[in-house]
Amino acid sequence: MTRPDPALADLQLPPGLAEGQATMPGLLRYRARTTPDQIALREKKRGVWQGTTWQGYFEKARAFALFLKSQGFMPGDKLIIASDGTPEWFFADLAAQSLGGVTVGIYPTNPWPELQYIARHCRAKIAVCGDQEQTDKVLTAMQLEGGLPDMKRVLTVDWKGMRQYTESCLMSFSDALTEGSHLAADAAQVENYEQTIDALRAEQDALIVYTSGTTGMPKGARLSHRGILSDAWALGQVHGFAGKPMSVVCYLPLCHVAERLMSPVMQLSYGTVVYFAESIDTVTQNLREIGPSFFFGVPRIWEKLQYEILIKSRDARPLAQWAFKKALAIGTPIAERTIANNGDPVSLRDSFVGWLLRATVFSNLLASIGLDRTWISMTGGASISPSVILFFRAMGVPIYQIYGMTECSGASHAQSKRTSRLGWCGPALPSIVEQRILPDGELQLRGRIVFNGYLYDEAATAAAFTDGWLSTGDVVELDDATGQVQIIDRKKAILITSGGKNITPSLIENTLKESLYISEAVLLGDGRHFVAALIQIDLDTVGKWAQERGLAYTTYETLAALEAVKGLINKDVERVNARFSRVENIRKFVILKKQLDHDDGELTATMKVRRNVIEKKFAAEISEIYGPAKEAA
């Protein structure tokens, strides 16, 4: 089994990083000069994990940069990347930045109209595509509905299935690297390239991340080298990354600011080894092979890992099942006491028992999902149930919540050992960001991690700020003693019933999603007499529950229609109602007949619910709850 390469024991932070004066291409060059033979990237090819050194990483990025320059790519130009995470993603990203250009990531799941909107809006000149599917979307976007007038060249990493393509703009990524390597043989070209890197400024745009667009069209947030590198540096300082062996698994879309921050940017800051998952479907298998020291997971990933452990324990022999349940029952109170005691066990007994439980019961289960060597793990991107945090904490895997948004380079707040209160997301990252809370509870931020504005949209940029402070749109509660914040909800998402009661939907929705059987919940009740919910069941967990009881089904729709399934979900709804006041209770619910889908416009690319779309698309289900017309206040 392949294991991560150890980082250098005497690793030092690169010059200029803490002061916010570094650039990403400059850090790549620094790594190539100081640790040229150390492994930076690993990708699985034909069943074997193959590595790329820092020197190889830099040379590939330089070769591609020289190719881009030969194609007329200039400072300020935009390059789009439509691909899953691969080493070529990293090469193209750093190549464009090294020339003073800007990289724009496109979600691999985006249909061609969304790709066309982003590529046209940012006026992209070059496209890098992962495979034939992504190439086809770019070519379609170039041919239909006004096309992509600025697009000059389309490069494809995996050329499989494309031998018959004849479009003159097409070229394989490997051929581009070859051309760039020939250009790198010219000493004058190399010297000029070095000077180009030296001329980069930390405050200039490095990447543009298009927001999810829960309302309206997505906007391109301009993130600087200084902003996102300062974010990675501060996050690593909070958790003591410097000098420790670090390896991560890159599996989320790199166009999302969280994966960009945790993989390539954190890597440049701390010398991390990045492993590329073969696909989102093989993450758990790849985790077992890699055993990363650092793992970032969105809440749904942690929920899936929890479910996998629970299923493994249920399928074990009776004695092993009993041991697991007993160990969890003992470990959970220890975890609660430890969190309440600022991350330290309250006694030697708790410390010893926690170690013993992990060594004798939990270690094999953690190894089965690849987390047995993980010493630091985080979650963000959405709210996570405290029960999930406690579950892993009881097993010896502390998960620290972070909070942030695209416009603040990904993370503005982070929990640590001393500040890991359940349901909260830690204090503001030190040295790089300030916070203030408005009278209505909205959180505002300012500091070097705040973005440079929205691309070609001065009005939206102006609207995002108040007296120099970035408006997050999130209503929070502040713990004055520790500086930690708890996210209550989006300011615009607060429901007001016809009786004038304010309801926080996300709190109730997240409590519903603590159930293994509920994957999504959308609360209703704005301007209505009572609260209701649209619920999407989890196909895997509910499917297994139905199989164990001999209930027949063939699809999600037939499973959701089973009366027994409604009874199962009703028990969870009643459990949630018992935790809230009467006015917040869910009086009616409907199980959705279909799973919410990004392709159908119901979810953003980051899997956030588009509430306005839900209200329209599921009008029949809502009428089933409230009647044909919305009840007037």
Cα 305 to its chain centre, rounded Å, is: 16
Query: Between β-strands 205-210 and 220-224, what pairing exists: parallel, antiparallel or unpaired?
Result: antiparallel
Give residue 138's identity as a one-letter amino acid code: V
pLDDT for res 78? 97
482-485-489 Cα angle (round to 5):
165
Q: How many CB atoms lie within 10 A of CB 404?
A: 25
pLDDT for res 601? 74
Range from 217-231, 441-455, 509-523 carrying the lowest mean pLDDT: 509-523
Determine the 3-state secondary structure of 577 from DSSP. helix
Cα–Cα distance between 380 and 52 in angstroms, integer? 29
Distances (CA, A) of 129 to 82, 136, 159, 263, 555: 5, 9, 10, 20, 33
Q: How confident is the model at residue 263 (pLDDT cuts 50, 70, 90)?
A: very high
Report whether pLDDT(621) > 60. yes
Length of the chain (residues)? 633
In SS3 terms, 346-358 reads as CCHHHHHHHHHHH
Q: Is the pTM of this model over 0.85?
A: no
pLDDT, tens digit, 9 for 90 and up, residues 79-98: 999 999 999 999 999 999 99
**Which residue carries 């979650």 as its tokens?**
379
- Give the percent of the chain with pLDDT over 70: 95
What are the chain's domains?
24-200+240-281 (3.40.50.12780), 298-397 (no CATH), 494-626 (3.30.300.30)
pLDDT for res 503? 80
Average pLDDT over residues 230-250: 91
Average pLDDT over residues 291-297: 92
Look at phi and psi of residue 23 and say left if phi exceeds 0, alpha if psi is from -120 to 50, else beta: beta
Average pLDDT of the chain is 90
Cα–Cα distance between 560 and 564 in angstroms, integer? 9
pLDDT, tens digit, 9 for 90 and up, residues 106-164: 999 888 998 999 999 999 999 999 999 999 999 999 999 899 999 999 999 999 999 99
Q: How confident is the model at residue 626 (pLDDT cuts 50, 70, 90)?
A: confident
Cα–Cα distance between 505 and 519 in angstroms, integer? 16
Report whether pLDDT(6) > 60. no
pLDDT for res 499? 64
Average pLDDT over residues 194-200: 96
Report whether pLDDT(4) > 60. no
Q: How confident is the model at residue 493 (pLDDT cuts 50, 70, 90)?
A: low
Average pLDDT over residues 279-306: 87
Average pLDDT over residues 281-310: 88
